[in-house]
């Protein structure tokens, strides 16, 4: 019996990643504006790109993991004990 492939999760996180990248490209001028305002003194705006990076990292990382698992590729299990 073969293990169940996470096709639904792969599609869900893949679509979410695609939507996030599309939104980022459509709103890139907003990020430039925030960067200019940060330089002019609104220092708390530096948090926005950091939060966006964490959100991208989560969704894209999950998609990548499920993608490789769907293809049947998994990390090799090795022992870490010394002989």
In Å, how far from its chain's centre is CA 36?
Answer: 25
The reported pTM is: 0.81
Q: What is the 3-state secondary structure (H, E, C) of the chain?
A: CCCCCCHHHHHHHHHHHHHHHHHHHHCHHHHHHHHHHHHCCCHHHHHHHHHHHHHHHHHHHHHHHHHHHHHCCCCCCCCCCCC
Helix orientation angle between 28-39 and 7-26, rounded to the nearest 10 degrees: 60
Tens of pLDDT, residues 40-69: 999 999 999 999 999 999 999 999 999 999
**Domain chopping of the chain, boundaries:** 7-71
Across the chain, what does the average pLDDT equal?
A: 92
């Amino acid at each position: 019996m073969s293990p169940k492939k996470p096709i639904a999760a792969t599609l869900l996180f893949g679509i979410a990643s695609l939507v996030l990248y599309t939104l980022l490209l459509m709103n890139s001028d907003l990020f430039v504006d925030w960067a200019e305002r940060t330089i002019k003194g609104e220092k708390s705006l530096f948090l926005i790109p950091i939060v966006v990076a964490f959100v991208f990292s989560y969704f894209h990382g999950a998609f990548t993991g499920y993608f490789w698992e769907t293809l049947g590729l998994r990390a090799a299990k090795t022992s870490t004990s010394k002989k």
